[in-house]
């Protein structure tokens, strides 16, 4: 049924973008939900100020975005400007020949040089193999490197549960045992009106990445990657870590305590955010994007943000950032109206658009001068910006060519999210992680072989960093090998 609907949706979108005459219409597709109202407002402003160009904006859910893009390119009518999504990575789109360099649509070299100069050079905005290929720029960064997923807590419910300091201020959990205990206390105080924590198990990949892999486990010293081997000593996927397994057991214990908001099996990201914003859950994990969502749902929601709790007795581990680069919108090939498309790209990357985005609560800008505390609509965003600047460190960097192996990696089912969900629900045991490990490594071996046959120079050594210590919260400087 869905496959029958998608072509009709695409036809509708195409029909809308071809109405009228006298101005060039540039279709912009992305998967933005949390800041969609801001983008709609700004695109209307652009249209008022540009009588020769009109943006037709479409926001799609991430899953449908991939399907619609594949269909659009198959029918030969893709959106002029769009964001890479899912399996359609920037590198994959370039390899498919579906996008054009931004160099080729700029009015002239001088304009393009001036445009590149607006991005802070010290942050390495353009990196060969990441968003540049053969010296050509295909995309551009919009957001600053971020701390990652964090714990948001409802201050109103914490107060009602008595989880406060001597001044009556709510105190978030700092350890796993506190996290479980606080969830239990909030649930008891709620008496069925609210619960300790919200979990969006309908989307197991996102749910257990945000609430476990990139938070509870990562902060305690476990490294996870779904694209590249996560054991940096062996260059292989490894799910034997006691930290990972204990983090899963923690969630099982919290479930058995009855501290998770009921209905979690059918709860997605949006419904979980609504529940938290409407004071039905005391805690929820997420990234900076949830803030705008909370405020849109309930402007009076009283919440704060905290670093993820760590396993009892261990030192906190902070995440690391990449070397630079970064991607956002790209331009589809062929580009029939480069002048009009360039105006849209210039607007999307402008100081005006990015400053308004920060003030709306969309995120943290790649332009540091915008990220002032007074520009953020909520104190939590200022905190996240501060933590990102203070704690992020430079981690191991996989060569750009070696990164391309991820595009040869076939999907593995069940994946890590669904495997954890099965363990969480009691449908499978922890041995399922051992099976996943075997399947992931087999898939990665096949991917490397395919990549090498296509002429890529990739070896296991590209994914091994024997001298890296994840527990050291400092920039990684590799020793010569």
Mean pLDDT of 416-422: 98
Residue 117 has pLDDT above 90, yes or no: yes
Mean pLDDT of 261-271: 95
More confident residue, 477 or 357: 357
Say what percent of the chain tops pLDDT 70.
Answer: 95
pLDDT at 32: 87
CA neighbor of 300 nearest in space, from 198, 173, 155: 155
Mean pLDDT of 396-417: 92
Would you state the structure tokens that stand for residue 473, as one six-digit string? 């919260």
Q: Decide if 2-143+325-394 and 148-317+398-464 have a common fold.
A: yes
pLDDT digits (tens, 9 = 90+) for 330-388: 999 999 999 999 999 999 999 999 999 999 988 889 999 999 999 999 999 999 999 99
Q: What is the pTM of this model?
A: 0.85
Residue 274 has pLDDT above 50, yes or no: yes
pLDDT at 144: 87
For the chain, give the mean pLDDT.
Answer: 92
pLDDT digits (tens, 9 = 90+) for 25-35: 999 999 988 88
Would you state the structure tokens that stand for residue 330, as one six-digit string? 């790209």
Residue 18 — pLDDT band, cuts 50, 70, 90?
A: very low
d(CA 122, CA 101): 23
Q: How far apart are the first and last CA of the chain?
A: 55
Residue 235 — pLDDT band, cuts 50, 70, 90?
A: very high
Residue 21 has pLDDT above 60, yes or no: no
More confident residue, 148 or 260: 260
pLDDT at 5: 46
Is residue 361 within 8 A of residue 35, CB to CB? The reply is yes
Residue 12 — pLDDT band, cuts 50, 70, 90?
A: very low
What are the residues facing 81 on neighbouring strands?
Answer: 28, 331
pLDDT at 481: 54
Q: Does domain 2-143+325-394 have CATH number 3.40.190.10?
A: yes
pLDDT at 322: 77
Mean pLDDT of 239-258: 98
Mean pLDDT of 120-127: 90
CATH class of the domain whose range is 148-317+398-464: alpha beta
How many CA atoms does the CB half-sphere of 418 hold within 13 Å? 7
Task: List C-alpha distances in Å: 218 to 12, 184, 186, 328, 470.
Answer: 44, 23, 25, 26, 10
Beta-strand relationship, 24-30 and 81-82 = parallel
Mean pLDDT of 304-312: 98
Break the chain into its structural domains and give their ranges. Answer: 2-143+325-394, 148-317+398-464
pLDDT at 325: 65
Residue 240 — pLDDT band, cuts 50, 70, 90?
A: very high
């Amino acid at each position: 049924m869905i496959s029958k609907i998608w072509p009709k949706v695409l036809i509708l979108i195409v029909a809308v973008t071809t109405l009228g005459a006298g101005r060039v219409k540039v279709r912009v597709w992305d998967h933005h939900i949390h800041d969609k109202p801001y983008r709609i407002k700004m695109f209307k402003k652009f249209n008022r100020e540009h009588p020769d160009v009109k943006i037709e904006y479409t926001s799609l859910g991430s899953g449908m975005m991939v399907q619609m893009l594949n269909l659009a390119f198959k029918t030969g009518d893709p959106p002029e400007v769009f964001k890479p999504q899912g399996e359609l990575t920037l590198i994959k789109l370039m390899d498919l020949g579906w996008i054009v360099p931004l160099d080729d649509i700029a009015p002239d070299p001088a304009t393009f040089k001036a445009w590149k100069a607006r991005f802070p050079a010290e942050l390495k905005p353009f990196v060969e193999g990441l968003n540049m290929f053969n010296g050509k720029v295909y995309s551009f960064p919009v957001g600053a490197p971020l701390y990652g997923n964090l714990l948001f807590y409802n201050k109103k419910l914490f107060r009602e549960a008595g989880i406060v300091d001597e001044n009556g201020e709510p105190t978030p959990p700092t350890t796993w045992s506190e996290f479980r205990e606080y969830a239990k206390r909030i649930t008891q105080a709620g008496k069925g009106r609210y619960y300790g924590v919200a979990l969006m198990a309908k989307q197991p990949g996102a749910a257990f990445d945000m609430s476990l892999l990139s938070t509870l486990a990562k902060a305690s010293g476990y490294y996870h990657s779904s694209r590249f081997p996560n054991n940096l000593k062996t260059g292989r996927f490894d799910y034997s870590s006691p930290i990972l397994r204990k983090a899963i057991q923690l969630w099982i214990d919290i479930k058995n305590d009855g501290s998770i908001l009921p209905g979690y099996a059918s709860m997605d990201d949006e419904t979980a955010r609504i529940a938290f914003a409407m004071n039905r859950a005391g805690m929820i994990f997420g990234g900076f994007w949830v803030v705008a969502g909370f405020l849109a749902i309930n402007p009076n929601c009283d919440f704060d943000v905290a670093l993820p709790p760590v396993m009892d007795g261990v030192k906190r581990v902070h995440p690391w950032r990449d070397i630079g680069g970064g991607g956002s919108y790209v331009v589809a090939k062929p580009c029939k109206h480069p002048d009009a498309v360039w105006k849209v790209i210039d607007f999307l990357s402008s100081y005006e658009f990015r400053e308004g985005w920060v003030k709306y609560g969309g995120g943290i800008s790649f332009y540091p001068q915008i990220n002032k505390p007074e520009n953020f609509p909520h104190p939590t965003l200022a905190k996240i910006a501060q933590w990102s600047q203070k704690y992020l460190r430079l981690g191991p960097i996989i060569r750009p060519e070696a990164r391309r192996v991820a595009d040869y990696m076939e999907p593995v089912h069940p994946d890590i999210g669904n495997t954890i969900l099965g363990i969480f629900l009691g449908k499978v045991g922890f041995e399922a992680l051992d099976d996943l490990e075997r399947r992931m490594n087999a898939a990665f071996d096949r991917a490397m072989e395919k990549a090498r046959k296509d002429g890529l120079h990739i070896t296991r050594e590209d994914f091994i960093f024997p001298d890296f210590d994840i527990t050291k919260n400092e920039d990684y400087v590799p020793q010569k090998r």
